């Protein structure tokens, strides 16, 4: 069943599909704008109504059909996915998009699957056991300070190594723009990586989904790390609702 989303408040109109929601947010693969040295970075995260970003260590317990529909459309609409190393392992990454979405990308002249990117200074060796490394044609780009060998089992793997203590998120995303043609990058979390990206001023759009659940406990919020002082101010650009889920599009102010 295709999910339908009602836009609330300013800009409200006819209900839209997940693809139209992503289009209304102005997110598409390709150029980040003239003169930009780095990709446009869109961060997508889901939280419970009480602000938790995981249930039993995974985000999947927070989701539902509307959230999965938006997430698939976001993946379908970008050049690359930035996945935190802990998230990559905890969420057991495998196939990035289903056949329909791969075909839609191909019809639009895009590679069938966005590049999967991971920035990890230490690089947990369990990473290469993940199913995504066995996906034929899946491009994977890793930035690391580890000198340990890492191999793909079918995916097209590029590993960029740097000296200990020299990796920065800014340099990695600039390299994605320059050497991998990435115009729009979807940050899929987790909370530690999103905090670091925000702190470095690298996030252009936040798509936060609020799930109709109360979780409590000690799971982090969608941003994990030191307090921002002063807090980062956001502009609320749009709100959609579907099946009890809220979808909030923010951009940083300034």
Ligand X SMILES: NC(=O)c1ccc[n+]([C@@H]2O[C@H](COP(=O)([O-])OP(=O)(O)OC[C@H]3O[C@@H](n4cnc5c(N)ncnc54)[C@H](OP(=O)(O)O)[C@@H]3O)[C@@H](O)[C@H]2O)c1
Binding site for ligand X (CB under 6 A): 45-46, 53-54, 57-59, 62, 84-87, 90-91, 119-122, 169, 188-193, 196, 222, 224
Closest approach of Cβ 143 to ligand X, in Å? 8
Closest approach of Cβ 106 to ligand X, in Å? 27
Closest approach of Cβ 203 to ligand X, in Å? 13
SS3 category, 28: coil
Choose between 32 and 189: whose C-beta lies nearer to ligand X: 189
Closest approach of Cβ 37 to ligand X, in Å? 18
Q: Write the CA distances from 136 to 12, 129, 154, integer angstroms.
A: 42, 15, 5
Closest approach of Cβ 185 to ligand X, in Å? 14
Choose between 87 and 184: whose C-beta lies nearer to ligand X: 87
Choose between 68 and 153: whose C-beta lies nearer to ligand X: 68
Q: Write the CA distances from 217 to 45, 48, 52, integer angstroms.
A: 19, 12, 8
Q: How far apart are CA 84 and CA 90, in angstroms?
A: 10
What radius of gyration do the chain's Cα atoms show? 18
Closest approach of Cβ 51 to ligand X, in Å? 10
Do the bridges between strand 80-82 and strand 184-187 make them parallel or antiparallel, or are there none, so unpaired? parallel
SS3 category, 217: coil
Choose between 15 and 221: whose C-beta lies nearer to ligand X: 221
Choose between 110 and 119: whose C-beta lies nearer to ligand X: 119
Closest approach of Cβ 107 to ligand X, in Å? 29
Choose between 112 and 175: whose C-beta lies nearer to ligand X: 175
Q: How far apart are CA 128 and CA 189, in angstroms?
A: 19
Q: Phi, psi (5° rounding) for residue 28?
A: -155, 160
**DSSP annotation string for 151-178:** --SSSEEEEEE--TT---HHHHHHHHHH
SS3 category, 90: helix
**Pseudo-torsion of CA 110, 101, 87, 245, nearest 10°?**
130
Choose between 23 and 55: whose C-beta lies nearer to ligand X: 55
Tokens of 69: 């529909």
């Amino acid at each position: 069943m295709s999910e339908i989303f009602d836009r609330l408040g300013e800009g409200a109109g006819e209900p839209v599909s997940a693809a139209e929601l992503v289009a209304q947010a102005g997110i598409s693969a390709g150029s980040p704008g003239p003169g930009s040295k780095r990709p446009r970075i869109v961060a997508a995260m889901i939280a419970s109504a009480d602000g938790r970003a995981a249930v039993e260590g995974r985000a999947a317990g927070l989701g539902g059909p509307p959230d999965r529909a938006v997430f698939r459309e976001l993946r379908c609409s970008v050049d690359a996915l930035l996945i935190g190393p802990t998230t990559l392992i905890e969420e057991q990454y495998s196939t990035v998009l289903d056949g329909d979405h791969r075909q839609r990308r191909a019809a639009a002249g895009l590679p069938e699957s966005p590049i999967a990117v991971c920035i990890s200074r230490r690089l947990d060796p369990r990473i290469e056991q993940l199913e995504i490394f066995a996906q034929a044609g899946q491009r994977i780009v890793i930035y690391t300070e580890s000198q340990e060998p890492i191999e793909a089992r079918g995916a097209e793997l590029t590993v960029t190594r740097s000296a200990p203590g020299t990796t920065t998120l800014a340099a990695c995303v600039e390299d994605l723009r320059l050497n991998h043609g990435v115009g729009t990058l979807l940050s899929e979390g987790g909370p530690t990586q999103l905090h670091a990206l925000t702190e470095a001023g690298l996030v252009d759009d936040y798509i936060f989904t609020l799930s109709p659940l109360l979780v409590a406990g000690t799971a982090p919020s969608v941003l994990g790390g030191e307090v921002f002082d002063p807090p980062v101010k956001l502009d609320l650009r749009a709100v959609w609702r579907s099946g009890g889920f809220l979808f909030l599009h923010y951009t940083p102010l300034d």
